[in-house]
Amino acid sequence: MDELELLKKDWKAREKDLPRLKASEIYPMLLKKSSSIVKWIFIISIIELALSTFLNIYLADDEFWAQVKNIHFKNVMIGIYIFSYLATGVFIFLFYKNYKNISTTDSASQLMKNILKTRRVVKYYILYVLVSSGITMILYFVFSIMYPPAGSGIDPEKLNWGWALLIAIGVTLLFLTLLWLFYLLVYGILLRKLKRNYKELKKLEL
Partner 1 sequence: MKRLITDQSFVLKKELENTFVQLLEKNQNIVHKVCRIYTNDQDSHNDLFQEITIQLWKAYPKFRGDAKFSTWMYRVALNTAITLYRKQKRAPKTQDYESVHYKISASGYDDTIEQQLKVMYAAVKELNDIDKALVFLYLEDKNYREISETLGISEVNARVKMNRIKNKLKNILNP
Query: Residue 106 interacts with partner 1 (CB under 8 A)?
Result: yes
Give me the least distance between CB of 7 and partner 1, in Å please: 5
Query: Residue 6 interacts with partner 1 (CB under 8 A)?
Result: yes
Query: Residue 43 interacts with partner 1 (CB under 8 A)?
Result: no
Task: Please say whether the beta carbons of 44 and 119 come within 8 A.
Answer: no
What is the distance in angstroms between the CA of the first residue and the CA of the last residue of the chain?
A: 32
**114-143: contacts with partner 1 (CB under 8 A):** 115
Give me the least distance between CB of 183 and partner 1, in Å please: 19
Q: Report the C-alpha gap between 9 and 12 in whole angstroms.
A: 5
Query: Residue 7 interacts with partner 1 (CB under 8 A)?
Result: yes
Query: Residue 160 interacts with partner 1 (CB under 8 A)?
Result: no
**Among 51, 60, 90, 108, interactor with partner 1 by CB under 8 A:** 108
Task: Please say whether the beta carbons of 83 and 146 come within 8 A.
Answer: no
Task: Please say whether the beta carbons of 194 and 115 come within 8 A.
Answer: yes
**Among 101, 109, 132, 136, interactor with partner 1 by CB under 8 A:** 109
Q: Report the C-alpha gap between 71 and 130 in whole angstroms.
A: 23
Q: Report the C-alpha gap between 17 and 10 in whole angstroms.
A: 12
Query: Residue 185 interacts with partner 1 (CB under 8 A)?
Result: no
Residue length of the chain: 206
Task: Please say whether the beta carbons of 38 and 115 come within 8 A.
Answer: yes
Query: Residue 8 interacts with partner 1 (CB under 8 A)?
Result: yes
Give me the least distance between CB of 98 and partner 1, in Å please: 15
Q: Report the C-alpha gap between 123 and 191 in whole angstroms.
A: 13
String of DSSP letters for 86-135: HHHHHHHHHHHHHHHH--TTS-HHHHHHHHHHHHHHHHHHHHHHHHHHHH
Give me the least distance between CB of 43 and partner 1, in Å please: 14
Query: Residue 11 interacts with partner 1 (CB under 8 A)?
Result: yes
Give me the least distance between CB of 199 and partner 1, in Å please: 10
Q: Name the residue nearer to partner 1 (CB basis): 27 or 58.
A: 27
Q: What residues line the site for partner 1 (CB under 8 A)? A: 2-4, 6-8, 10-11, 15, 18-23, 26-27, 29-30, 32-38, 103-112, 115, 190, 193-194, 196-197, 200-201, 204-205
